[in-house]
Amino acid sequence: MRFQDQTIVITGASMGIGRALAIALAARGAKLALAARSAEALAETVQLCEAAGGTAIAVPTDITEPTACQALIQQTIQTFGQLDCLVNNAALSMIAPFEQVQDLSAFEQVMRVNYLGAVACTYYALPHLKASQGLVVAISSLCGKTGIPTRSAYVASKHALQGFFDTLRIELRGTGVAVLVVSPGFVATGIRQRALNSQGQPWGDSPRDESRNTQSIAACVSQIVRGMERRQREVITTPKGQLLTWIKLVAPDLVDWLAVQATLPLSPRRS
């Protein structure tokens, strides 16, 4: 896939991986429709994309509302006349031991953002992607491949995302539409600072040590762009993550132990 004059929708484009990916694709000549809830943050991303040489519009969108997802795709088509790629990137995390969770509605909130929002966006984008023989990208996580303590809501949503897009890939065989699932590990995006705690409120600061075993946004985005160019079916963005998927086949208990080590420390007081 080449990005010059290709129309690409990116959800969760106001910060983190979404913003960095938008800028990287803008530098390659893409036409971007950028979605997130914050109109102000989206406007900043649009300015950065235009400075990088691309064309971009901001479409403030709450992807937990299917009608908003439909409007996002409609506005993209009205503006650019086509759709070549959809990047489902918007995400919300939750960090709390399950037994300490006090508000189960937080599980529904995480599932609506991470899974059902991606399903809705893909549903409305698919006819246009079939017309262009385009690409669907799901930014998942290593949490979509294995359990992680204190992340039960997030892990469940990413397992659902992985299963949905693996199934969709099979259903779309012969249509010319490619499906790419990206599985980063810990990336320095700020998602854990915004993650919900056991009361369903944002943590405010990360409960893990972000100075260790954390991939940079730039390194992660480089892997995503490469996977999109090659229309790969899967990208695991770190060698350690790639290794873990194989270790799980032969030593699953070891993977469980490694998952515990990777998420320490978590303060019980603030969980």
The verdict on whether 154 is a catalytic residue reads yes
Catalytic residue, candidates 115, 123, 124, 154? 154
Q: Name the residue with tokens 């963005």.
A: 237
Residue 58's closest CA among 78, 38, 77?
38
Q: Which residues pair with 56 in a beta bridge?
A: 32
Q: For the chain, where are the alpha helices, taking DSSP H only?
A: 16-26, 39-51, 66-80, 105-111, 117-132, 152-171, 217-229, 239-250, 252-263
Whether a cis peptide bond, with omega within 30° of 0, leads into 127 is no
Half-sphere exposure of 115 (CA within 13 A, CB side): 18
Q: 11 and 19 in contact (C-beta within 8 Å)?
A: no
Our measurement of the distance from residue 175's CA atom to the centroid of its chain's CA atoms, rounded to an integer in Å, reads 24
Bridge partners of residue 181, in order along the sequence: 138, 234
236: region left, alpha or beta (phi > 0 left; psi from -120 to 50 alpha): beta
Question: What residues are labeled active site?
Answer: 154
